[in-house]
Amino acid sequence: MRLSELKNAGRAPSLPLSIELADAAGPGQLQLLSLLRVLPGQRYVGAAVWRGRPVLAKLLVGSKAARHFQRELDGVRLLAEQGLVTPLLLADGLQEGEGGWLLFEFLEGAESLAQAWRAVENLPPLADAQTAVLAEALGVIAQMHARGVWQEDLHLDNLLRHDGKLYLIDGAGICVEQAGKPLSRERVLENLGVFFAQLPKNLEPFTEELLVYYLLGNGEHALPLEALEKQVRKVSAWRMKDFMSKVGRECTLFSVVRGAFALRAARREEEAAMVPVLGQADALLEQGHLYKTGGAASVAKVEVAGRPLVIKRYNIKGFTHWLKRFWRPSRAWHSWREGNRLAFLGFATPKPLAVLEKRCFWLRSRAYLVTEFLPGPDIIERFAPYVEHGDAPENELLALEQLFAELIRERISHGDFKGHNLFWNDGRWAMIDLDAMCQHRSVASFAPAFAKDRARFMRNWPQESALYRLIDRRLPTQV
């Protein structure tokens, strides 16, 4: 295959793939064995073999290939010139009308700090193992900043551990202010804001403590905590807006197909498994364990290839009901968006896997939502033994307090906060049934919605019971 033909190969070209490249040593074949990152029609990154040597290949095609190639090459060279650890560039080239390529040494067995973080993310906030990962990241960020360099797309996937060293990758995101001179305080705060905004919300109280690991490597500037926190909030708001725009469009994270007769969305990694599930959703519902049937919705636990799932079908009860629903986004679509919002913000909720709106010439009809199955009792069942005496486990009460605090912090109202919509799972309270969930733009609109949520939640238990009085004392009464 010619390099230029790769731009038409789509998201998942058939592998292995032989691509003709040429450099100063003459023509040669690149055998692309696997793909790590793909931007269809523009960028293909994967493990390959070049002249008998394993390499990491970055192949740039399409109309923007020359620009992307130069950015990548400039960034890689800048890292090397400043003495920062980055994979060795073995070969590179750009051909008019074909595209560009950069071939790096292949770091066999390398682990990204994102992988290292996933192994420890469920530990208590700032456990030693978590601190070790974040301290390592902040140390190399400090080294970059001390040399006037910063990573525009700063995240843990762009830091690789290999043979006791931490490698910086993705030259396209490397920027410079004044090479060899410490970065200005403004740039430092902006870049650290990008880093801290990606950390879980439960680490927010430890920002100052974590900042020490940065200052050990670059103490050039005094970094006011208030200014950093302001930047983190700014970046967090942008990241949320950017993520929510991706939930409804074709991108690396999500597969979305829109047409006159259907709207289907799925997490990219789940697409192959979910398309058949959506195709036989009605049959699976009939065969599954029904939690709710008839009326506005039918809900069932089903098993597909040994995997427990929950399918929720949003029914159209009749012509009058259809007149109310066909012109606006379905409740399935709303739940899909809000479930992804909660997951992005770090709340516990069943992972939304796929959604389908059936349409007739764009007019909406039935809709389906598929999520992971959430084992565990709901809060009514879990707290049933403690209603009379109010001696509920302290860890579960603390988790409940934390959930309400997080909802207030993010200005999120549930809309139907009955006990059957809150499950105890893996040491956290997880929310389900997100049809009416809303993230409010202002405290003025959130305050009455929170009061309504709290009142509905408290109606789960008799007002005269000891458990009611205990929970009423523990939960916040206002925002």
DSSP 3-state of 150: strand
> Is pLDDT of 326 > 80?
no
The β-bridge partners of 218 are none
Residues 195 and 189: their CA atoms lie apart, in Å, by 10
DSSP 3-state of 186: helix
State how far the alpha carbon of 327 is from the alpha carbons of 323, 358, 362, in Å: 8, 13, 9
Mean pLDDT for 27-48 is 91
> Is pLDDT of 97 > 70?
yes
**pLDDT tens digits, residue range 152-186?**
989 999 999 999 999 999 999 999 999 999 999 99
Contact by Cβ (8 Å): 254, 265 = yes
**pLDDT tens digits, residue range 195-212?**
999 999 889 999 999 999
What pLDDT is attached to residue 292?
A: 80
Amino acid at site 139: G
Amino acid at site 42: Q
Contact by Cβ (8 Å): 46, 64 = no
Question: Where residue 238 falls among pLDDT bands split at 50, 70, 90?
Answer: very high
CB atoms within 10 A of CB 129: 13
> Is pLDDT of 275 > 90?
yes
Q: Which of 17-26, 184-193, 463-472 has the lowest mean pLDDT?
A: 17-26
Q: What are phi and psi of 289, to 5 degrees?
A: -85, 110
Domains of the chain, each with CATH number or no CATH: 3-105 (3.30.200.20), 111-242 (1.10.510.10), 254-372 (3.30.200.20), 379-474 (1.10.510)
> Is pLDDT of 294 > 80?
no
Helices (H), 258-374: 271-279, 281-287, 319-325, 331-345
> Is pLDDT of 25 > 70?
no
| Size of the chain, expressed as the number of residues it contains | 479
DSSP 3-state of 468: helix
Mean pLDDT over each residue of the chain, to the nearest integer: 93
Residues 347 and 345: their CA atoms lie apart, in Å, by 6
Mean pLDDT for 378-394 is 95
